[in-house]
Chains A and B, each alone.
Chain A
Amino acid sequence: MSSAQVSEEEIRRLILAYQQYQSQAEALVRQINLAQLTSAGLDRAIEAVQAMDKAYEGQNMLVSIGSGSFIHAKLASKAKVVLNVGAGVSIEKTTVEASESLQVQKSEISEGLKKMNDVLSKLDGEIQKIQTILAQYEQQVQAKGGGQVV
């Protein structure tokens, strides 16, 4: 689309679309950040479950209580892990089951992240297209002695 043919009404429509795409992109970035945090949490859980292989029952441990603080503990069972399945429910599973379940969740999150990144790229493309048209239109308006478009 050439800016020379763009009517004022079309420019108004483009500005509206630009604002909509921008707010969609911002919401998507927030979701991507959340998904990345979840993914990092899953990585830590998977690593901890895998570490059970080398651990032994009765081994001294430090358990995180938040804010970088720890309490002393002894490993009571290396065969069982309690997994949160959401809605305030946690189920005790074997380390193998827990590892599989966490890997599945991790794959789902990775898949979701990929889809969200694809959508974000498309939105970015649309935003850039509109920006180019608006910039050209703004130059034309300024050349005619008008004001700012956005």
Chain B
Amino acid sequence: MSGELPPQIQNQIAQLQQLQQQAQAVITQKSQIEALLREIEVALTELERSNEDSVIYKSVGEILFKTGKSELLEELKERKDVMELRQKTMSKQEERIQGRFTQLQEQLKQSLGQMPPKGG
């Protein structure tokens, strides 16, 4: 079907497909970051709820190292900040791609509208 379309329109369709793939990749990354954020938040809540004398471990690979509550709280908060920053970056990227997609979609609609009628 695309063989019958003018090169300009074929190009616009290809760009749209590329943008769709980019959007999908960004959405996947964003949801991974959000899952990590949720996990950090749950761990933070559990840590904050634990007693001051609770024994706490941090996993490094398959090994658990005994560690201090305040030290780990600080580390998790830093990780949360980093993840929130990444989440914002991903949201901006998603918005940018969405904007470009809408713009290109409009251009494609216009191009298709300007095409001479079939068989004419």
Q: Residues of A with Cβ closer than 8 Å to B?
A: 80, 82, 84-93
Contacts and interface: CB of A to CB of B under 8 A. Distances in A.
The B interface is mostly helix, strand or loop, or mixed, namely: helix
B43 A86 contact: yes
A92 B59 CA distance: 13
Interface residues of B, number: 20
A93 B49 CA distance: 12
A90 B42 contact: no
A85 B79 CA distance: 16
Interface in B52-69: 54-60, 64
Contacts of B54: 91-93
Nearest to B73: A89
A82 B59 CA distance: 12
Contact of A90 (B39, B44, B64): B64
A85 B57 contact: no
Contacts of A80: 55
A87 B40 contact: yes
A90 B72 CA distance: 11
Nearest to A66: B62
B50 interface: yes
A82 B64 contact: yes
B43 A89 contact: yes
